[in-house]
Amino acid sequence: MGLPLLGETFQFFSPYTSMDISPFIRDRVNRYGPVFKTSLVGRPVVVSTDPELNNFVFQQEGRLFQSWYPDTFTEIFGRQNVGSMHGFMYKYLKNLVLKLFGTESLKETLLHEVEVSAWRNLNSWSQHSIVEMKEATATMIFDLTAKKLISYDSSSSSQNLRESFVAFILGLISYPINIPGTAYHKCLQGRKKAMEMLKSLLAERRNNSSSRQCGDFFDFVINEMKKERTVLTEAIALDLMFVLLFASFETTSLALTLAVKFLTDHPRALEELKDEHDTILRNRENRNSGITWKEYKSMNFTFQVINETVRLANIVPGIFRKALKDIQVNGYTIPAGWGVMVCPPAVHLNPEIYKNPLAFNPWRWKDKPEQCGGTKSFMAFGGGMRFCVGTDFTKLQMAVFLHCLVTKYRWRAIKGGNIVRTPGLGFPDGYHIQLISRE
């Protein structure tokens, strides 16, 4: 369990530079087995790398376990954030978010808007001799989602909203010492600035409500707040907007950057991806018409590339729950009140589940049902009733971007591409490429 109070927190946050399971997890699994106990940021935690136990934890949401994150995460995301909600309130907020990211919205508006954004940004990047993929894709996705959520336009706003989120991200998975100069302190300051802007926007919208139509997601949320007997408070609404702004761009930009790196390093996969998308263009009556929903759903190899990328990326190093009562598991007891950390990387990189698990092999997903959602062996987007509500939006953004990229451009890596995990994924020196038109 490590040292008093500190536990094994420093070991957990120790950086490493491989795609493999963290040394912290691997060493303890070798010593204690697939389920072990530790102490992180002052809390006793059971860590599970066992697919059966992970699935059991997800399926028993609300009965034996409930969503839980350490107090430091709650400070960062807000005490009223959707991840801390349970039961009816969680389902209510999930349904609100599906108004924006559900299948109907993806078909009717987001497919077209994501494609337009991808073409515009790729054209802009191709004018430069070098582009840093992580920063460029994060800006592209943030601008699109911030516009959908709060009608934010970085080119005309006096405040740089994304700057606050960059500071927030740097300290999100860091040791929680709130002292000026630390990453965690900068993270909290980034949250403070972003929340001040959201509060100001909320006040402005309320004052001008009579002259506004329901134009973006914030308007929709504000209308929900006005309803009689509403359960949606100002604090919940603001924390919801904050979490959506963060979640909608950071993880997707990391996955896209890694996908481009994998494709660069694996020419055979890149060629098959090009063939799939060139075929889509050849089968169109008008080559320049936009992507249709039918075309999007036909991108089978693209979804294999996406699944393999997020399997290896393991952007989320742990998914946390809390035991609601004493729970018996394989002869051991998980005490009531203890945290449980489900560890997706240990499942995704398990050689008994995936042959040569560190190899980028999109073909391993051919004809696999895991493409549709979470399973015992694939939990890149979570599992159970808390399966990530933005999964379909993430896959759509990645697929559409890759379509636009490979049908019109080729590229070469210039520098960077090294990763570091702390334990979250990062590109310390970026990933710089040069875009060149295929024509």
Residues in binding site: 388
For 391, the token pair is 């999964």
Q: Select from 202, 233, 203 the least CA-distant residue to 217.
A: 202
Q: How far is it, in rounded angstroms, from Cα 411 to Cα 402?
A: 12
Q: Select from 237, 156, 155, 164 the least CA-distant residue to 199.
A: 237
* First-to-final CA distance of the chain: 60
Strand partners, 436: 410
Question: Which residues contact residue 103 at a Cβ distance below 8 angstroms, ignoring those fewer than 6 apart?
Answer: 392
For 89, the token pair is 């309130």
Binding residues for heme: 388
Q: Residue 95 is which amino acid?
A: N
Which residue, chain included where needed, has tokens 């015992």? 376
Measured in residues, the chain has a length of 439
Q: How far is it, in rounded angstroms, from Cα 84 to Cα 77?
A: 9
Question: Which residues contact residue 123 at a Cβ distance below 8 angstroms, ignoring those fewer than 6 apart?
Answer: none
CB-based contact 426:123 (threshold 8 Å): no
Can you give the C-alpha Rg of the chain in angstroms? 22
